[in-house]
């Protein structure tokens, strides 16, 4: 089983690119955002557990997130691997993922990192917030999200670079050009 971990700051286009990669490569996109929405909406045991933390304004512990990912990767459509979008977010999650993949008999094939300059990310996110009417996405909250991403992701980039898995992809190209670059680097790795 081959797994692709797609990294990129908020606004880099991870979700869009993961969906396109899913179509191109035939590997399912596994998004933690989608997993949380599914588990919360369907009031699964993990969803109910996550809600207890969220209702208190706390971050959902890694163990709950990892359990959601484990359930998803155990589904038949993930038998050949998956594209991980939004997971892992922390070094602890990356280490948990290694153990999980060992259990499943899989491995990480490549970690494409979609790179976009901060000013471009800010413009993209402000534009998206305006289009979607998201009043919670203002410049201040976006900058906080970007800072948190940098703090949490830098160790991931170092972790996966040490395993020679990270490939930097220019995210400031057209959607099609980014997708073509991603397909090329993923196919070269799997």
Residues 169 and 5: their CA atoms lie apart, in Å, by 13
Nearest in space to 104 (alpha carbons), one of 183, 30, 19: 30
Active site residue 184: no
Which of 134, 163, 168, 184 is labelled catalytic?
134
Q: Which residues contact 152 (CB under 8 A, 6 or more apart)?
A: 89, 90
Q: Say which of 19, 70, 128, 143 is annotated catalytic.
A: 128
Helices (H) and strands (E) in the chain, counts: 8, 5
- Which helix (H) or strand (E) covers residue 109, if one does? strand 107-115
Selecting among 2, 19, 89, 143, the annotated active-site residue is 89
At 111, list the tokens: 């970690």
Q: Has 51 been annotated as catalytic?
A: no
Catalytic residues: 14, 89, 128, 134, 145
């Amino acid at each position: 089983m081959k797994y692709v971990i797609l990294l990129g700051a908020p606004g880099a286009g991870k979700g869009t690119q993961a969906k396109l990669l899913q179509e191109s490569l035939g590997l399912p996109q596994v998004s933690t955002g989608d997993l949380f929405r599914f588990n919360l909406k369907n009031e699964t045991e993990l969803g109910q557990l996550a809600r207890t933390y969220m209702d208190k304004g706390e971050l959902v512990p890694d163990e709950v997130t990892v359990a959601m990912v484990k359930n998803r990767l155990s589904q038949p459509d993930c038998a050949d691997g998956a594209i991980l979008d939004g997971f892992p977010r922390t070094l602890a999650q990356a280490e948990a993922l290694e153990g999980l993949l060992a259990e499943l008999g899989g491995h990480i094939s490549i970690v494409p990192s979609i790179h976009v300059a901060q000013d471009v990310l800010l413009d993209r996110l402000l534009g998206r917030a305006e289009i979607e009417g998201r009043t919670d996405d203002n410049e201040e909250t976006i900058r906080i999200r970007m800072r948190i991403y940098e703090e949490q992701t830098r160790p991931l980039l170092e972790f996966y670079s040490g395993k020679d898995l990270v490939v930097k992809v220019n995210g400031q190209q057209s959607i099609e050009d980014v997708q073509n670059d991603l397909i090329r680097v993923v196919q070269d790795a799997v």
